Amino acid sequence: MDIQSFIGKTPLVELKTFDVPADVRILAKAEFMNPGGSIKDRIVRYIVDDAERRGLIAPGATIVENTSGNTGAAIAMLAATRGYRAVLTMPDKVSKEKQDALRAMGAEVVVCPTSALPDTPDHYVTRARTLHAATPGSFMLNQYDNPLNAEAHFRSTGPEIWDALGDAVTAFVASGSTGGTISGTSRYLKQRKPDVRSVLLDPVGSVYHRYFHEGVVDPGQIAPYFVEGAGEDHLARCMDFSTIDEVLRFSDADAFATCRHLARREGLVCGGTAGANVWGAVQVARSLSGPATVVTVLPDSGGKYLSKIYNADWLTRNGFETGEIRALEPTL
């Protein structure tokens, strides 16, 4: 079997060191165990397989995509094994570890300013579209607006959770950037059990929280934040708000403090979105009375962020705590 055969069927890990009500469990799907190191392996294989079946991509073609790193890693992995060229654009806040891993697999990395506004030439999404248009025979996954992104989770992540837990699932909690994970997984779980609660986590500085609650996208609300792979400065068409019951806002400090808790008390060194997801799962768990099961995902490993969120100097420079882990206070 080749490396792609090991995508999916990741284990559920029970988190036992958080202060939640009795008989309320938190389970996290260890997506960093996918061969490309993240949950994005699922969508890349699904979309590329579909493109090959439909003749949208020819042998030796170029795959162009905008990414915060994990989709890029999955593309680079598949490109290396299937004989494609990979050209990947990303904002400059993406960790050096992620960028170096992409280059190691032969991908061309185009770094764009995080501060670039949507639809401007230097924005990483715009740059990818420009490169795609200028490269004959290239293929773009278009992960932010491609419905196959959510469909990949509807056909894999959701069924895997249901097969493991069935009717015991009370809530599914996940951050979102493209919206594929939360939309596809929630849609599947709600088809099996309509009262499953779906909660999207959105970082301060992203547009989704206000859009969900007020139907407004306010450019003045867009602000830089450090967590990679969560939130957006524009509405991704892949994000299906009809599958979502609530949107909670988290801060970088919430996510990074939870990362440290996971590492030091659960033995799980995970990325910032995993910290955000578990922080949110704890908030939801504290709003429930047992028996109940809250499920989330750990999208990637902390090995990609050792120079950032696990580096004391970086944390101190950017105003984050580095000492004893602060209490994770309930916000619901």
**Catalytic residue numbers?**
40
Helix (H) or strand (E) holding 47: helix 40-53
CB 282 within 8 A of CB 328: yes
Count of alpha carbons within 13 angstroms of residue 313, beta-carbon side: 2
First to last CA, the chain: 46
Amino acid at residue number 177? S
Residue type, 260: R
DSSP calls for 183-236 = HHHHHHHHHH-TT-EEEEEEETT-SHHHHHHHS---GGG----S-SSS--SS--
91: left (phi over 0), alpha (psi -120 to 50) or beta: beta
- The pair of structure tokens assigned to 113 is 């300013």
